[in-house]
């Protein structure tokens, strides 16, 4: 016992002990009150003391972990992107503390299974800036610019959280403008004549849906969740309609896994009341009389069964022939919302008013829904100087 005790050396922090093998063992009392051995022995006293100095520094900085916790932390660091991303999706919340919506979850998982698939099997620590650049270049080479932008944006958000969780030292997504890559294709709203052709051609029970998108600026999911009670019709003493207001406070989305999901709009700004211009009043009231149930909760645009939501895939069977008749095979339904934003701007509405009408949370988003038109002759005439 005496010989063994002579091998022990008390340090300022911890203890070193020379073993019969000649190796040096380092031990210390941890913040948990337990005595801990170094995970390995050392060949020199200097190495053992250096180890104890590092442990003492970790304790001082609050970064010390027990062997069990350190092993768990290492296991966390060895997670693959795919494993961590699934946890990230499950725990992610928006600025209001709400869980991700089913449609968003569906889109994120689609990106992980698609464009991000080459990276999902890699450990988080193995995804370097160079690896990200190589992956993104390969994706851009396929011509899928928008996909590349969305996938990079998701990867950037996930890796940023991983860095906050101290699973990686820094976010490897360092490409400037990596999230702003796009195809260059712009959404062009219909000209007045094109919109007229669409309204003349489309199946009559969907005319009001086109009108609400074009003149009210509603999104497809907002319009197809509207119910009779969401419309307020004001008449004068003679019984004539003087105002129709549409209350937008819900939207519907659809995913293969979750089916139809009803929820609030994309942001708080999306909850709004939209007044419709007088020239569409007759069409809207006619639609309520001919195609909408009599109950307050009756959907304005139900599916063929009269009660469930109208799938966009069903509507496109009517939309495609109508836009083709207008010579606009390139035009998505969303272009009608751009038409509405532009028409409202031409009335002299301020940017703030346009933003409120379209339900945008930023002025920049509202600006994207304003387009030039063929009014150049008319506007130029207004520039004439008075003499």
For 136-153, letters b (16+ CB in 10 Å) and e give beebeeeebeebbbbbbb
Q: Which of 207, 219, 287, 309 is catalytic?
A: 219
Is 337 one of the catalytic residues?
yes
Enumerate the β-bridge partners of residue 234.
243
DSSP SS3 for 94: coil
96: its two tokens: 């209001």
Q: What burial class does residue 172 get, using C-beta atoms within 10 Å of its C-beta: 0-12 exposed, 13-18 middle, 19+ buried?
A: buried
Q: How far is Cα 46 from Cα 53, in angstroms, rounded to an integer? A: 10
318 is catalytic: no
Taking alpha carbons only, the member of 201, 189, 197 closest to residue 318 is 201
Residue 233 near residue 285, CB atoms below 8 Å: yes
Instruction: Tell me which residue of 228, 221, 319 sits closest to 270, measured CA to CA.
Output: 221
Tokens 């008749």 belong to 325
Given 51, 108, 344, 369, the catalytic residue: 369
123 a catalytic residue = no
- Are 120 and 81 within 8 A, CB to CB? yes
Distance, CA of 271 to CA of 257 (rounded, Å): 27
Catalytic residue among 7, 166, 334, 375: 334
Q: Give φ, ψ of 178 to 5 degrees.
A: -60, -25
In the set 136, 328, 357, 360, the catalytic residue is 360
At residue 195's C-alpha, the angle toward residues 190 and 200, to 5°, is 155
* 360 noted as active-site residue: yes
For 254, residues 6+ apart whose C-beta sits below 8 A from its C-beta are 103, 260, 261, 309, 311, 312
Q: Is 254 a catalytic residue?
A: no
Q: Which of 25, 101, 136, 337 is catalytic?
A: 337
Which residues are annotated as catalytic? 219, 334, 337, 360, 369
């Amino acid at each position: 016992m005496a010989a063994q005790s002579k091998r022990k050396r008390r340090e300022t922090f911890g203890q070193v002990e020379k073993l019969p093998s000649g190796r040096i063992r380092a031990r210390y009392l941890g913040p948990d009150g337990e005595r801990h051995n170094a995970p390995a022995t050392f060949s020199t006293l200097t190495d053992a003391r250096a180890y104890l100095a590092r442990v003492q520094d970790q304790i001082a900085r609050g970064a010390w972990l027990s062997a069990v916790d350190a092993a768990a932390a290492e296991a966390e660091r060895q997670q693959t992107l795919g494993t961590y991303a699934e946890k990230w999706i499950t725990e992610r919340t928006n600025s209001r503390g709400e869980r991700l919506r089913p449609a968003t979850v569906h889109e994120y998982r689609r990106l992980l299974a698609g464009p991000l698939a080459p990276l999902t099997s890699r450990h988080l620590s193995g995804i370097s800036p160079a690896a990200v650049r190589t992956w993104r270049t390969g994706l851009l080479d396929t011509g899928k610019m928008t996909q590349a932008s969305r996938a990079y944006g998701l990867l950037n958000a996930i890796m940023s959280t991983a860095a906050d969780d101290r699973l990686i030292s820094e976010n490897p997504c360092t490409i400037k403008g990596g999230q702003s890559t796009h195809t260059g294709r712009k959404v062009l709203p219909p000209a007045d004549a094109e919109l007229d052709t669409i309204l003349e051609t489309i199946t009559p029970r969907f005319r009001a849906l086109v009108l609400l998108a074009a003149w009210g600026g509603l999104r497809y999911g907002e319009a197809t969740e509207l119910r009779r009670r969401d419309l307020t019709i004001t008449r004068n003493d003679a019984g004539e309609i003087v105002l129709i207001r549409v209350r937008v406070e819900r939207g519907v989305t659809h995913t293969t896994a979750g089916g139809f999901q009803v929820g609030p709009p994309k942001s708080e700004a999306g909850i709004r009341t939209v007044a419709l211009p007088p020239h569409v009043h007759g069409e809207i009231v006619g639609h309520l009389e001919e195609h909408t149930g009599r109950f307050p909760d009756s959907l304005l645009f139900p599916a063929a069964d009269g009660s469930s939501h109208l799938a966009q895939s069903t509507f496109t069977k009517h939309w495609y022939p109508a836009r083709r008749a207008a010579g606009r095979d390139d035009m998505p339904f969303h272009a009608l919302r751009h038409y509405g934003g532009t028409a409202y701007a031409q009335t002299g509405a301020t940017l703030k008013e346009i933003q409120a009408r379209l339900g945008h949370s930023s002025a920049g988003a509202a600006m994207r829904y304003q387009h030039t038109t063929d009014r150049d002759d008319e506007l130029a005439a207004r520039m004439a100087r008075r003499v």
